[in-house]
Amino acid sequence: MQIAIKSRISKENKDIEDFVGFGAITVGYENTKENLGFDVMYRPGKELDKYAVNLSFYFKFLGVILKSNPYSFIEVFSGYGESIIEYNKKQDFVIRGGIRFFN
């Protein structure tokens, strides 16, 4: 479990904390025996309807083929602050995938 509290006060984006809040809570689980894991991030904004949730599932699919440690991942994001440019626009449902590297 990870809890982060950050201040993002900016001259250009004075209302950014209304949308992305002051921090995030991340909870995750990794099963090294099965080569998979997941994590959930929740970032509350100042108001109840201003939030962000990110669900991430990763598994060692390409890593098994390549004999190294990259994991394939699938993420689902919903809420505000997915990008700094459009922090004040709600993204209802974003799905992405790729390769994740661990030490």
pLDDT digit string (tens) for 13-54? 777 777 777 788 899 998 888 888 999 999 988 888 889 999
DSSP alpha helix (H) spans, the chain: 16-20, 62-66
Domain count of the fold of the chain? 1
From 58, 12, 14, select the one nearest 38 (Cα to Cα): 58
Strand-strand pairing, 36-44 and 23-31: antiparallel
Share of the chain above pLDDT 70, in %: 79
Question: What Cα–Cα distance (Å) separates residue 74 from each residue in 8, 28, 57, 63?
Answer: 28, 14, 5, 15
Phi and psi torsions of 23, nearest 5°: 180, -175
CATH at residue 97: 2.40.230.10
Q: Given pLDDT bands bounded at 50, 70 and 90, which one contains residue 102?
A: low
pLDDT at residue 55 in the model: 96
Distance of alpha carbon 96 from alpha carbon 56, whole angstroms? 9
Name 90's Cβ contacts closer than 8 Å, sequence gap at least 6: 79, 80
pTM over 0.85: no
Range of the domain at 61: 2-101
